[in-house]
Each structure stands twice: as C-alpha cells, then as structure tokens.
Chain A
Amino acid sequence: MDGEPFDVPEGRTIAAALIAAGRVSWRTTRAGGRPRGVFCGIGVCFDCLVVVNGVPDVRACQRVPADGDVVRSQRGAELPG
C-alpha cells in the first residue's frame, strides 16, 4: 500500500488491513480534497476507494487483496492505467 509492504491475513479486506495498521483515511475527494476512509464498511457508500494494480474506484471494504497486488491511495477522480 503506497509502496509499503503489508502482510494481510487470508480473507481480510484491504480496508480492514489498513485500519488494523492504524490508517484512518486513504482517499481524497475530488472537489474539496477532503480525506476519506471507511464509512459504511459494506460496499454501499463508495467512500473507501483505492487504486488496485492501476485500476481506480475499487472499494477497499469489499476487495480482498491477492498476493502481489499493488494498492495505492486515490486522489480525487483518476484514470485507469
């Protein structure tokens, strides 16, 4: 995540791994640049978005990472690639 290696227990979501590591936010909104992390935790609110392997708009609370996935914070609206 953001260049830092994470050992994530099998089945744990990206969001759970980040919160367990003490991170509260990892996204900024596109208009106000406001920080965001988990809100609903069950895939409804789309607040916790991250970029996974270059693909933005991935819900961290839903996505269980695979070994070697490269995850980073999402800043506003981003293009894939």
Chain B
Amino acid sequence: MRYPDVVVVGAGVIGAACAEALSAAGLRVTVLDRGPLGAGTSAAGEGNVLVSDKEPGPELDLALASLGRWPDLLAELGADVEWDPKGGLVVATGDTALTAFAEAQRAAGVDARPITPAEAFDLEPHLTRAVVAAVHYPQDAQLQPVLVTKALLAAVRRRGGTLRPGVRALGVRLANGAVAAVRTDDGDVPCGAVVIACGPWSGEVSTAFGAPITVLPRRGVILVTAPLPPGTVRHKVYDADYVGAVASGDADLQVSTVVESTAGGTVLIGSSRERVGFDASLRVEVPRALARRAVGLFPVLADVQVLRAYGGFRPYAPDHLPVIGPDPRCPGLWHATGHEGAGIGLAAATGRLLAELVTGVEPHVDARPFRVDRPGVCA
C-alpha cells in the first residue's frame, strides 16, 4: 500500500476543495471524515457564491479569485452542480449607505450597479414597493453545495486518492518534530502533511492535534417554502442590513433577510446568526424573525407555506477572516477553516491557495491575511 502525501481531515466543501487542488498538483491525497462525506456545515447552507456582501479587503479578494475560478473548476470536474449565475440584488427601504458601499466595492473590482427602484421591480416583480434604493450585482451566483462537494471528492478519487468516511482523526504522530502520521480510530495513516478542514469543529480537532486554533460556531437557520412557480424570485435578494450582520460578531442573534429560489422551485429564506455553541434545538423566535423580514421584502410570500427549517454551524475566527496556511508550531500541519457563511463560495480559491502554499508555488492571492499565527487565532 502506498501512503498518501497529504491527509485532509474533513470532507466538507473546504476539505474537498483542498483535496482536489492538492491532487491536481500531483499529490496523493487521503480524505478522512468522522461522518459521511459533505454532510456537516456544507449540507446546511444555501450555496452562496457572493461578492456583493463583502467589503473591500482580503475576504473580497479571495471571493473574487474564487468567483473567477469556479466556472473553470466546474468545467474540469464535468459535473452538474446546479451552478446558477443568477446575480444578487441588494435593496433598502430606508436611509442607507448602500450606494457608498457599492462605490467602494466597485473600486475593489466588483461589478456593482446602483439601479432605480423601477429597475429593481423589473428584475424582481414581486419585490415590495417600499424599496427606495437598490444595487444589482451580476456576479453573484449559487450552486448546490452537496453536489459540488461530491464532485470535488469524485475528482480526488479519480486521481488515485482515497476517501474514508466514518474514520475519526484522533491526533498526529510526529517524527523529528514534524508530522509523520495521522492517528485515527482505524489505525495510523502515515503521511507527509495533514490539513485540518473541519469547519466549526476545527477548534476541537486542532486541540486534539496539539496545535489549537480559535474557531467558533455560529448557528444559521434557513426556512424553506413550498415549491413556487419559476420566476417568483429570480435573484439572490437581500436587504441592506445583511452586510452589517455578516460582518459583526456582537449580538447573540442577528437576522437579516436573504430570499432566493432553488432549482427545485422552493424559496430559501435566510439568514440568522446565533451564538448558541453547538445547540441545534429550535428557537421559534429565529424563524419568526426570518419570516417577518421575508414577508416585508416579498409580500406575496405571506400566504405561502413554510415546509421546513434547517440549520447548521458556520465556523468563524474572532476577526471573521478565513484561516488558511501552515501551523507555525508543527511542521507539516495545515489549516483551512473559518469561512463562516461563505465557505461554499470561497472554497475554489481556498483549495487552490492551500495547494500553492503546500507545493511552494507563488500564491494567486495574498495569503498573509489568512495566516494561522495572527492575533486571536493561534491560542
């Protein structure tokens, strides 16, 4: 049996994207997950590939790089993952800094187009007439996160990599101070390097590996309506305060509205952010707040049935930036996590960046803002 060059711990979209890029660079990769493949945080989101919600800075740079990478990557994978470049529409019903925000984003390379309310109603016929300002973001897209995770992992397997769902990583075995093997509940896996990509569980796993980083869970809940006729909601539509909610870590519950339809005809309504640890029980106030705001944006939804709610835990670092790179305390140990609610969109560039760092290739985006040894992350 040949040992892998790299073991990736975590088969969510970030782990899958890292494994795909590493295997594309010619490395032999094994992916471990304590559970089924792609069934954690990646299976509990909307599939956002967004630039509209990001202020100028390192995360926007990563998002733009990822947005550029996704279409080629999907073509290489040759899989249907419900990629839909539907575009985003941010609207405001009151005083707003929307246009100034868009101006700054445009300077950073985002296609952000302020439009009139009348133009917004052309784009979204059911939108509330209370809208006074709107910005159209044609670059925003959506994909089906579970399908894309499966497609990335399938590519790893085609290149000779190994997928091992149901195998729990317990720690590392070191030789001369560097990673020599991953210890698992199914025996040791000798390897040259290990990537921890366990999303909100990266804190726990990195601690077990002796190199703890601070990554915390925030719960997000999404409502799903009964199927509606095609074209009821055409873009990813959100109210202007979404941006503030994503960027902030202050309150224990934040809600802002994101409304969009899926290939199946249902409408997804996000998005809440709760700091409740890993508690998955339902608090009715959360879906209630989501419902109230969604009906405010699209009054026609008031009489539409809600079929279900689903929730997941999004990983965030204290400074709300992803964590991508080598662990300075342990040669051969790498991290890729902390993407909060943006991991699906950021996965393509994250995987490429990590593979570049591992193989010593010049990174295609500046890796320094995401380094592991920054304040607050390396405990």
Q: Is there an interface contact between B265 and A77, defined as CB atoms closer than 8 Å? A: yes
Other-chain contact of B265, A30, A56, A80 (Cβ < 8 Å): A30
Q: Which residues of A contact B305 (CB under 8 A)?
A: 57
Q: Tell me whether A77 and B300 are in contact in the complex, defined as CB-CB below 8 angstroms, given that A30-B265, A57-B305 are known contacts.
A: no
> In the complex, are the beta carbons of A80 and B227 less than 8 A apart?
no
Supposing A55-B303, A57-B305 touch, asked if A79 and B226 sit within 8 A by C-beta, the answer is no
- Closest-by-CB residue of A relative to B232 is A79
A78 engages B303 (CB within 8 Å): no
Chain A residues with CB below 8 A from B304, complex form? 57, 79-80
Count of interface residues, chain B, beta-carbon cutoff 8 Å = 11
With an 8 A cutoff between CB atoms, is A41 at the interface?
no
A30 near B300 with CB under 8 A, answer no
Digit string of B212-237 for contact with A (CB within 8 Å is 1, else 0)? Answer: 00000000000000111100100000
Task: Give the size category of A's interface with B.
Answer: 10 to 19
B266 CB, min distance to chain A CBs, angstroms: 9
- Is the Cβ of A77 less than 8 Å from the Cβ of B303? no
Q: Does A22 contact B (CB under 8 A)?
A: no
Cα distance, A12 to B12, chains bound together (Å):
51
Chain B neighbourhood of A76, CB < 8 A: 229
Q: What is the CA–CA distance of A60 and B303 in the complex, to the nearest angstrom?
A: 17
Which residues of chain A have C-beta atoms less than 8 A from B229's C-beta?
76-79
- A68 on the interface (CB 8 Å rule)? no
For B265, the chain A residues whose CB sits under 8 A away are 30, 77
* Residues in A whose Cβ lies below 8 Å from that of B300: 79-81
Query: What CA separation (Å) do A55 and B302 show in the bound complex?
Result: 10
Is the pair A80, B303 in contact by a Cβ cutoff of 8 Å?
A: yes
For the complex, give the distance between the alpha carbons of A6 and B232 in Å. 33
Say how far A29's CB is from chain B's closest CB, in angstroms.
10
CB distance from A79 to the nearest CB of B (A): 6
Q: Which partner residue on chain A sits nearest B301 by CB separation?
A: A80
Which residues 321-355 of B sit at the A interface, judged by CB distance below 8 A? Answer: none
Contacts of A78 in B (CB 8 A): 229
In the bound complex, residues from chain B placing their C-beta under 8 Å from that of A80 are 300, 302-304
Q: State how many angstroms separate the Cβ of A19 from the closest Cβ of chain B.
A: 24
Residues of B within 8 A of A81 (CB): 300, 303
Contact, CB under 8 Å: A57 / B232: no
A34-71 near B? 1/0 per residue, CB < 8 Å:
00000000000000000000011100000000000000
Inter-chain CA distance A30–B228, complex, in Å, is 10
Which residues of B (198-252) have their CB < 8 Å from a CB of A? 226-229, 232
CA distance in complex: A55, B300 (Å)? 11
Chain B nearest CB from A33 CB (Å) reads 14
Q: Hey, which chain A residues are within 8 Å of B227, CB to CB?
A: 30, 77
Question: How far, in Å, is B231 (CB) from chain A's closest CB?
Answer: 10
A residues adjacent to B (C-beta < 8 A): 30, 55-57, 76-81
Q: Which 5 residue pairs of A and B lie closest in terms of their CB atoms, listed nearest first?
A: A80-B303, A77-B227, A57-B305, A77-B229, A55-B303
22 A-B pairs within 8 Å (CB atoms) are namely A30-B227, A30-B265, A55-B303, A56-B226, A57-B226, A57-B304, A57-B305, A77-B227, A77-B228, A77-B229, A77-B265, A78-B229, A79-B228, A79-B229, A79-B232, A79-B304, A80-B300, A80-B302, A80-B303, A80-B304, A81-B300, A81-B303
15 other A-B residue contacts (CB within 8 Å) besides A57-B304, A77-B229, A79-B229: A30-B227, A56-B226, A57-B226, A76-B229, A77-B226, A78-B229, A79-B228, A79-B232, A79-B300, A80-B300, A80-B302, A80-B303, A80-B304, A81-B300, A81-B303
